[in-house]
Chain A
Amino acid sequence: MIHLKKDETKLMVAVHGWSGIVLGLLLYAVIFTGMAAVFAEEIGIWSAGHVETRSAFERPMDGSIRRLAAQTPAKYHEGVDLFEIGDHNLGAFFHRHETDPDGTLVSRGIYYQLDRKGDVAKALHGTGEEVFGPRNDDALSSFLVDTHVRLHVPNPWGLLLTGIVGLVMLVAAISGLLIHRHLFKDIFTLRRSASPVLVDRDRHSVAGTWSLPFAFILAFTGSFFSFFGTIGVPIVAMAAFGGDVQALNDAVFGNPGRPDPRPATMGNMDRIAADAIRRTGEVPTFITIENFGRADAKVTSFHPPKAGDIEPVTLLYDGAQAKFLHTKPSIGTQPSAGGTLAAIMAPMHFGNFAGMLSKAVWFALGFAMCYVTFTGLRLWLARRREDMRSLEWLDRTVMVVGFGLPFALVCSAAAFLIAMPLGSATYWTPAAFLIASGVAILGGTTAPSVAALGRALQFATGLVLAGLVPLRWISGGPGWGRAIEAGQPIIAALDLAFLLAGIWMVWRAAALPARRLPFPARPVPAE
């Protein structure tokens, strides 16, 4: 328990409130989309109706890679990234590292998208930034992730913005801890018979206190990811390597060894993938090949953490001989404190270290954080309501963002389900989001009251959410029987979750008395 002096507590209350109010709406948007993005992979499977369960790395791929290498200019054999796209198909990016005229280090090459038979469905030429974007069958999950990562603001500004939002969350979490005079009591205090204001404050306090460690972890890891490439790497490279970012990358991620540029036939990639799966018990998430077709070729396979562990597993192979060399840390050549700490940042942020269970916990705590952010904003307004009637616009804005964002997201999901079979999902997914946002904003300006606005948005969100399930069936998605038979029960599970959540929201919005939705009648005295 931390006991601050009265004026310090007052200052921390102000810091806590203002940190939320200044960037609170952006913070809410980032947390909400992050909460949904925890299940981005599953949402991708559900929305596109993917029923293939065998990974591209479990199926023969060696012949396809050799064919692609033969048709790719040798200058792009410096690096080959292999990963899964769509319904467990293979994506391959043959590239080399270049420095742009503005000094930015880029990967330039050819990105091949293969179909189920291993033939080239699409080939894109350019830098990584240019060729990797949403595809028709993953437009919804890409849209979710992109909103969370950079709020659709171009890089580096989008990442910087979400990084600053992460720091704001860090401040809110730490100051939230400092202002609790009775932390353990607050965890369990829910006065149900008190005034609506106190009930709201208790709920905010309980949800905030329980999710405090989680908020700290998310804010810390999130701001790390945002600032890592945009500010961190250039600054550390400037100080330690005279600005040579490639030298920093080689030192941190590279596989040191004597260069041997002699041409050599590559070892069998199917053999490497099978061996990697056998050793780790997990399918690779990603495979990289350095110096394809040279005697010093190295293959690195990246795997999710083993059961009971949080650090991802990385295996290194001799590429020319397809021979296992050793297990290596994700960062550096030997295990080290810094490497381990950096390696666990991703699992801690994404919550994907223990399968569906950790994802469910991360989703639930993310929901709690959304609730804390939203109720925090409303409490801040409630405290000033009688003094500042001019804050009505902010009140409406909070409601438009708070309930308008979920509404716009479910509308974009509905648009995806309609547009994907027509091949125009990359356009209509964000377009529907913008149209629905426009409708929510329009509602915010015309609704007779804030309560009516909130209720209407909740009702509409529930309606569209429940409607996603029949929409998916009508648009040709697999039914429950087929999905379960194919080993994709997640499709039926998400259908059921959306249906129940939608019905619950409609029922709740219909049953909610307009006066409770939620505005406290009197300001709350500061603690």
Chain B
Amino acid sequence: MIKTQNVAFSYSVQQNFQFPDIQCPDGQTLLITGNSGTGKTTLLHLLGGLLKPDSGEILINDQNIHQLNTSKQDAFRGSQIGMILQKSFFIEALSVLDNVVLGAWVANGIKPKQKALEILDNLGLKSHTHKLPNQLSIGQQQRVSIARALMNNPSVILADEPTSSLDDENALIVARLLKQLAEEYQSSLIIVTHDQRLKSLFNHQISLI
């Protein structure tokens, strides 16, 4: 469950954003669309606690994330938020499996391997678990990123242009997968995108201007 109220942010006097209020219950998907420069990524970073809003509140499970100090915020992000980025990033020296368990591994030193294997299996990546990330195709890499975002049963999944680098077929597959996984894992899924192909798939949409 994620909710925002009167969130505003400015990079400079000329470049400031006033965002509409957002609400997304568990298991639901909210699509945020808008052209470049309308602050989609900025909003996503605010929701993920990577940026601090000038005013307003962001509540995840009723916790105002910007009231936490930096280290608690890091821990909160690790346990409650899963992020899927426009490009797939990896620790290139680590295997696919290790990249997926990274969050839990960094946070408390344990590798929940079994769970990672289940998720990877669910995403059709079972045979790739011990490869290095750069040995996978872009579509597969994107699915590994999704697996990583799901690892901690996050309350909120934030996806930044998850389909923009994929072809039509893969874009639809990934979008459906995300939607289905949000329901399955009971997470609030927020997708920011300018990808017109997704608009027909999601009921809840907000457009930034």
A binds B: no
| A interface residues (Cβ-Cβ under 8 A, vs B) | none
